[in-house]
Amino acid sequence: MRAWIVSVGVLLSVLLLLSACGKQEEGASGTASGETKEVTIDAKNFDFDVKEIKVKKGDTVKVTLKNSEGNHAVKFEGYNKEVKGNQTITFVASKTGEFNYICSIFCGDGHNKMTGKLIVE
């Protein structure tokens, strides 16, 4: 009986170790195989200073949002990622195409003008 318990314990330990080795970044739908692209977006009422972000598939995208005026957040459509003011997010560009990013906090009459594009080649 004791040998059986030890065997189960060893097996569970090995499975736990293997699952930790294959762990991906939370929320990532792919693995990083390229470079890291760091971008800081400065948000002012009704404007992002970065209108376009170009990366390659497999690149890690690190986005910091700075709110110079007002309260804003940036949502990356197609990636289900959002960064709030004075915070940073990181994700892997695992899908090719063009993906809009928008201000996800209503900030007034010009809110719908706060857009940009993530281009993954």
Tens digits of per-residue pLDDT, 10-53?
554 544 444 443 333 333 445 667 899 999 999 999 999 999 99
Can you give the CATH number for the domain in which 99 is found? 2.60.40.420
pLDDT at residue 30 in the model: 57
- CA trace torsion 27, 30, 36, 41 (10° rounding): -40
Q: Is residue 88 part of a domain?
A: yes
Domain total in the chain: 1
Dihedral class, residue 110 (left if φ above 0, else alpha if ψ from -120 to 50, else beta): alpha
Domain span at residue 86? 36-120
Measured distance CA(62)–CA(50) in Å, rounded: 14
Return all residues near 101 (Cβ < 8 A) that are at least 6 apart.
48, 53, 74, 75, 76, 77, 115, 116, 117, 118
Q: Is residue 16 part of a domain?
A: no
